[in-house]
Each structure stands twice: as C-alpha cells, then as structure tokens.
Amino acid sequence: MAEQLYHFINGTRVNGTSGREGDVFNPATGEVQALCPYASAQEVDNAVQAALAAQPEWEATAAPRRAAVIFKFRELVMKHTDELAEIVGREHGKTIEDAKGSIQRGLDVTEFACGIPHLLKGELSTNVGGGIDTYSMREAVGVVGGITPFNFPVMIPCWMGVMAIACGNAFINKPSERDPGAPLFLAELWKEAGLPDGIWNVVNGDKEAVDALIEHPDVPAISFVGSTLVGEYVYQAGTARNKRVQSFCGAKNHLIVMPDADMDQTVDALMGSGYGSAGERCMAVSVAVPVGQDTADELVKRLEPRVRTLKIGPYNDPAADMGPLITAQAKERVEGYIDQGVAAGADLVVDGRGASLQGYEDGFFVGGTLFDNVTTDMSIYKDEIFGPVLSVARAESFDNAVEMVNGHEYANGVAIFTRDGDAARTFSDQVDVGMIGINVPIPVPMAFHHFGGSKRSKFGDTQMHGPQSINFFTKMKTISARWPSGIKEGAQFTMPTNR
C-alpha cells in the first residue's frame, strides 16, 4: 500500500486538505510507493503565516547561536546519511553512492553557513567628515521561498535553505512533487537540531503551490532551480511583483577535447560526467567536442566499448553505474530525442533505447547512448535532454570549438581537456559560460565559491552559495552617525559632502 505523505508546517506534519495529490514512483520498478499531497494557495498561506510569526525572533537570535543550530543539523545529516541516501535512491533512482555524494555537497554548504557570524560582518568608516561615522549592517529579507528540483532533493534545499536561515530568514521549501521524501526528512532533522518551529517549512505541490509563493505579498524572495522554461516564468512573474528572484536553469555543457589531451583521462571524465546519475544533472556533460578528425576518431573509438558496457540497475545495486530515469515520461522523452537524432542524420554509435532488466521490466531505464557526427542544427545538440545521451560534435579547430560553445543559448558549465596552458587560458578568456573546468569535467565550485551560469542558464544577478548568497538573502542598511561634541554649524541647506 502506498505511503501517504504530508506537508511540514510550523514544526508539525500536516495532512493535505486540497483534495489533490500525485503519485511518487519507485523508478526501478515503476510501482507507486507514495502519494504526495498538492497544496492549495490556502495551505501555502498557512506556511507563510507560520514563517512570518517565527522569523523576527529567529533573526534577533545572535548569529553564533544560529550557527550552533546549523552545526547540530550538520551532525544529524551526517548521522542519517544512509537513510537519506536510501530515500533519494528509492524515489529518484540514482545509485546509493551517487546519492551520498550529492548529500555531501549539501553538507559542504552547511559547513560554510556555520561561519555566518563572519559572513554577516558589515563595514565601518570612521570620521568620514565632520565627526560622522558611517557603517553598514545586513538584515534578513524575511520569508524566502525555495523551489527545488527532483534531481538533487537534499543538496539543493541545503544550498538554498541553509544559507537563507543562516542569514536570519524563514524558509519555505516547495520540493519536486516527484521525490519529496528527502526534503520532508530534512525538516524533521531541523526540528531535532533545535530550529524554532516555523523557520523551515515544506509545502508539497505543483504549479498552484509555486504560483501561491510567487504571488504572496509576504514572500519577498524566491530561489529556484529547475528547467529553463519554468525558471524564466518564475523570474518574470516574481520580479513583476518586485520580488528578488534567482533562477538557475537548464544547460548543454560541452567538453572540448584538444589533440594533446590525455585521452585516457578524457574518456574517464566523459563517462562519469555524461552518464553519472543517468545524465539527470544540470552540470552533466552532454556534448563532447573533439578538435580535429584524428582526435574525434580516437575519442569515439575509445568511448564506444565503454558506453556499451555501462551497467544499469536499481539504486541499491552496488555494481550499477547508473539507475533509471525519474518517471516513465522522462524515459519516453529521452528515447524520443534519440529517435530525433537518428532522423536528423546523426550516427547512432550506441543505442540505449529499449533497455530492460530481469525483475525490473517496468522500470524507467534507458541505456547509455552515444551519437557521433552531431551538428549544431540538430535537436539533440540544441536541447537539454536530461538523460544518458552523449553527443560527439566534431570541431575543425580550436576557434570552431569556441564558436560552438558561445553560439549555444545555454551557458551553465564547460570544460576543456588539454596539456597546453596557453590554450586553456585562452579558452577561459573567450567562452561566455558561468563555470569552466580545465581538465575537470564537472566544474561545480566548492561551497565557499559561487555556482551559476549565464545566458539562458540563469536569470537574476546573484549566484548560488558562496559570499554572493549573503547578498541575495540579506538587505543592506547604511547608517551615518554623529554624536554631540560641541560642534555648532547652524542649518545647512546644500547637499552634504565631506568638505
């Protein structure tokens, strides 16, 4: 019998009241394992009211004490990593080890947030003129809405929410309705860590819940990770209501292979970055760009047997390289793109369609797929497939490879594999992409640096985690103060200056 899920509002499990709900599948078996309630606007408002009531006292809590709660939460996540990974694998489909890796990346930001007393320090300038001191201070923005994706149900709530509450805000997480179990478990851990009720809430749902957060007058900030189509909508709808919004969206990440690249290292990098998590990562490499025909021929020759021997399996199979896709619709979509690539004339070197495992015949599996001779006008090159499909798009020259990267509408991440420092530096200077890897296939920065793309991979001015996250989750006050000192200047009717 399917488990009945809930919302988590004001420190309490709350049953859904809208009468709407959706299925949560086990992607490996195709079976419905849980029912997720879809919140109405009223239920979202209940969470906002709880957050509004709790936030002022939390913001007034000394930053070191807030950090102590976050540190306790970190300890609890570490203690329950196995349980969290089990939930992620069971609902998302990614392997246990991959799930644990994503949880660790969430913990990295949690550890960074423990330094919030230092990160919130303002600035002071003494005697800027006439005995006046000027200083700045950061304050919380209030209630933050966090719309998080299915592919990282622990990592992204940590990236957003931990920084938000570290700055003194309350947080309302609207996770993906496809795998809400891990976000709900995180909320329970926050309560155990001593976070006041109402500061971390989880409201499940679909577009109705998203719109309720966007339209609510008491939610001044929205952070989003997901597809470009939805992310652009969230950004435009939110900013039209004078909210601050950051939207991190789709990608089509290229990996440039120079003729002097270490080919063994390059092939290993492409296998892990292209097929890890079944390609369901916004930083997955989905386009390999070998420079020169000899480089391309050698690359495809080495990739083909590796892709053919990729092992798919359920999340708890320790021998599996990758698991299933999240839903039957995702499987159908990815296989549809493979059909399009064949119809467009690309060479299908390895075909992952029709994958099936004994005992898991109804699972949402797609095998590793490899295309060669992909051109920039094909849908498999232009669109984010979000599946285990790697396209080889051959470039005649270094300049041609740079043109391909810069000509794409997405600009989340890119990598170059080379032994030539001059080529790597020139590449880094010339490409218009948010995150660049040099002999690093998935250049996701560590927590103390910034995550974010450019062009249609990101809407908004600030990056995820790192010091810029403080800018997004706080507002600045600047105070100019002068204390009585016997100075009598009389009334001044001109613009004040320091002269």
Active site residues: 282
**Start-to-end C-alpha separation, the chain:** 77
Cβ atoms 477, 134 nearer than 8 A: no
Kindly report the backbone phi and psi dihedral angles of residue 253, in degrees, each rounded to the nearest multiple of 5, phi listed first: -85, 130
Please give the full DSSP string across 9-39, using - where no structure is assigned.
ETTEEE---SS-EEEEEETTTTEEEEEEE--
Strands 124-129 and 458-459: unpaired
Question: CA 3 to CA 181: how far, in whole Å?
Answer: 10
List the one residue out of 178, 85, 204 whose CA is nearest residue 386.
Answer: 178
What separation in angstroms does the CA of 162 have from each of 49, 185, 191, 222, 467? 20, 15, 14, 14, 13
Q: Rounded to an integer, what is the distance from CA 428 to the centroid of its chain?
A: 23
The encoded tokens of residue 451 equal 């995550």
DSSP 8-state symbol, 277: G
Cβ atoms 365, 374 nearer than 8 A: no
Question: CA 66 to CA 435: how far, in whole Å?
Answer: 31
Place of tokens 């002071």: 124
DSSP 8-state symbol, 389: E
What separation in angstroms does the CA of 433 have from each of 178, 281, 413? 30, 17, 6
Question: CA 331 to CA 324: how far, in whole Å?
Answer: 8
User: Which amino acid is present at 204?
Assistant: N
Question: CA 155 to CA 202: how far, in whole Å?
Answer: 15
Continuous H helices in 350-411: 379-382, 398-406
Cβ atoms 215, 238 nearer than 8 A: no
Question: CA 49 to CA 90: how far, in whole Å?
Answer: 33
The encoded tokens of residue 396 equal 């005649």
Question: CA 319 to CA 322: how far, in whole Å?
Answer: 9
Q: Dihedral through CA 173, CA 179, CA 181, CA 182, nearest 10? A: -70
List the one residue out of 69, 70, 55 whose CA is nearest residue 447.
Answer: 70
